[in-house]
Every structure is written in C-alpha cells, then in structure tokens.
Structure 1
Amino acid sequence: MSIITGRGDSGETDLLFGRRIAKTSRRIGVLGTVDELNAALGLARAAGANAEVEPIIGRVQELLIGLMGHFACLPGDEERYAKAGFSAVGQGDLDWVTATAHDFEARGIVFKDWARPGADHSMARAGMDFARSVARRAERAVLELHEGGEEVPEVLRLFFNRLSDLLWILARTA
C-alpha cells in the first residue's frame, strides 16, 4: 500500500480511531511540533551525544511517541486509547525528567549566560539546543490547545517545560 493516499488533499488528516481533523487545527500543530522535537533529538543523538546522554535521549524519544499518540486522540476517545494499550506519559515520567535535570545540576551545571548554539563547534550540543527550542514551542502549542478549550492534563502541560530545562542542561554536557 502506498503512503500516498490523497486523503489529506482536502486539508484534513487522520487521527486515531478513524477520526479526522483539519490539518490547521491546534491539535495537529501540537502533533507536528512534538514530531519535530523527536527529529531534533535524533539529530543530536546522531551527532554523537555522549554515552551518558544517549540513553536519556532514547527515553525522551519514547515518551514523545507516547505523547504523539495522546494528541492523536480526540477528546472523548481517551478511554478507548487507554483500553488499546497505547503508551501514556504520566507523573512518573515527569518526575524522571525533573530528577534527571536535578542530577546533572548537582554536578555543577548552572546557568551562566545565554546559550550560543554551535559556538563550541559541537553538533551534538547544537542539536540539543535546537531540540530545547522546539520543546519550548511544543510547550506553547500545548498551552494554546488547553487554553483554546481542549483539556490537556496538567502533567502534559508541565512535561514540555521541564523537558526544555533538561535539554538546556544536557546541551551543556553533550
């Protein structure tokens, strides 16, 4: 079967459970930004992130896939999503992101000045900074979706804020 179906030619796209939505919707904006964040992390990973950061990137990418699944589910389909056994991001994942950031901070990683991605000629660090900036955009997109009337659980609203902080820290260590 071809990936080219023509189903999106009308300006709509498929979500989970056969639901369709406008490609210009806030929800699709969130999905696209989270997908872009996953790709940015892939660039940082492929650029040679150090052995300690590599598994962290991998776990974050797994969480992002779960988040894309969550946002590919329209309100009212949450129970169906859970019953299907798809992955979900929860409080434990948010706690892991926070604890990981605190672990690196405890090693002396502190804010000294604004980031200048690429200044040290490290593709891995520049990639992490790029991923951080996309995470901030994802945070704004999630908040816009929530403020626009589509309930987004608090843990997901907080996730991207904490993740962008972690990515800033990792960019200093990558």
Structure 2
Amino acid sequence: MKVYTGTGDQGQTNLFSGERVAKHNVRIDAYGDLDELNSLVGAIAALSPQNEAALAQDLAGIQRRLFAAGAWLATTPGSSAEQHLTPFPPAAARELEERIDALSAHLPELRSFILPGGVPVAAWAHVGRTVCRRAERKLTLLMASEAGSQHEGLIAIQVYLNRLSDYLFTAARYLNQQLGQGDVPVK
C-alpha cells in the first residue's frame, strides 16, 4: 500500500464513514487536533524516564484511547460505519481521575499557579496539555455545529479530553519532581 494517493490534492478528504469533505471541515480539524495530541503523547512517552513503568503504561493507554476517539470523530453520526467502531467508554475519564490521584499522592499540594516548563519531558507534557485543551474546544465546536453530534460517544470523548488535560498537567508536575525540578510559581 502506498503512503500517498493524490486523492487529497484538490483540498478534499474522505471520512471513515465514506463522505468526501473539505480538509478545513470542522470534523477534520477536530480529529487533526487529536492526531497532533497523540503525537505529543508519543513524544512524552519517548522522553519519559525508563523506570516509570506506570507512567509508560498510562501514556500507551492514552494513545490507544486517542486513536479510538479519532475514529469516532472521522465518522458521521448515524452512518453505517459506526458499527465498526468500539464504543468509547465513559469510564475512561474515571480511569484518568484515578491516575491523577495516584500521581498527585507524590506531589506537594498546589497553592498557586505555576509556570509551564521544567525538565524537557515535563515541558512537553505542558505543551500536550494545551493541545488537549484545543482539541476539546474543537470537539465542542463540532458538537455544537453539526446535527447529530451530541452522540453519547462524542460526549464521553469530550469528558475524556477534559480529564486528559488535567492528567497531563499532573504528569508534568510529577515528572519535574521525579527529575529534581520543583514547581515554579507565577508569583
């Protein structure tokens, strides 16, 4: 199979559900942000310390969830292609909450706003957090603008993205602490 097809050279692309739409379509824009976020999560995983097995497991699971979420965003609600998708579980957000709590147990209480940054892997986690917030904004725009997009699966994805940004913030703090860099308050 070739990587290039040339079918998008005129500014159009296919959704998973088969429809051909403009590459600037809000649905394409929304799952494009998920793809960017997934790539950032992969970079965070690649830069994370080798001895952080639980974090590596978290990040691999997050990448799989983002890939599944992208498939939902690439599918028009109500199309026959939905039958080929795995339902996005509302419990995924609760799983992130549990991991946030587990990481937070190792951190000092947050008493002020902090500057994003620190060690490189933590800085990338902060970048991931901001891309996650953008992806969430695009998804809510899609849900508000397109008929049928209040689908329960998309609602579960929106909640997941909301928790994921919190997870990435907490992971950044955790990574900084584990690698000897404390939080830097805004002051």
TM-score normalised by the chain length of structure 2:
0.82
- 2:135 equivalent to 1:138: yes
Q: Which runs of 5+ in 1 are unaligned?
A: none
User: 1:52–1:112: structure 2 CA closer, same or farther, 3 Å change rule?
Assistant: farther
Amino acid paired to 1:67: A
Aligned partner (choices 57, 60, 66) of residue 58 of structure 1: 60
Cα shift readout 1:109-134 (whole Å, capped 9, x = no counterpart): 5434434333x3x2211111111111
Instruction: Summarize the alignment of residues 18-167 of structure 1 with structure 2, pairs less than 5 Å apart.
Output: 18-49=18-49, 50-77=52-79, 80-81=81-82, 83-84=83-84, 86-118=85-117, 120=118, 122-150=119-147, 151-152=149-150, 153=152, 154-167=155-168
Taking only the aligned residue pairs, the percentage that are identical comes to: 28
- 1:110, 1:60 → 2: CA distance? 25
- Following the alignment from structure 1 to structure 2, what is the Cα–Cα distance between the partners of residues 106 and 91? 24
Q: Deviations over 1:48-106 (max 9, x none)?
A: 243331111110000000001111111222x532x32x333211212111222123234
Q: Matched residues in 1 for 2:169 and 2:129: separation?
A: 6
Give 1:163's aligned amino acid.
Answer: L
Find the aligned partners of 1:128 and 1:87 in 2 and give their Cα distance: 28
Q: What residue is the counterpart of 1:2 in the other structure? A: 2
Q: Which amino acid aligns with 1:94?
A: A
Change (3 A) 1:6 1:129: same
| TM-fit CA distance, 1:17 | 3.6
Q: Residues 109 and 172 of structure 1 are in contact (CA less than 8 Å); yes or no, is this contact kept in structure 2?
A: no
The 3-state SS of whatever aligns with 2:13 is strand
Alignment root-mean-square deviation, CA: 1.8
Q: Distance in 2 between matches of 1:74 and 1:13?
A: 14
Any idea what SS the aligned residue of 1:61 has? helix
Q: 1-side partners of 2:115 and 2:39: how far apart? A: 21
Between the aligned partners of 2:20 and 2:108, the Cα distance in structure 1 is 45
Uncovered stretches (5+) of structure 2, i.e. residues with no partner: 176-187
Figure out how many residues of one structure are paired with residues of the other and give that number.
169
Secondary structure at the aligned position of 2:8 is classed as: helix
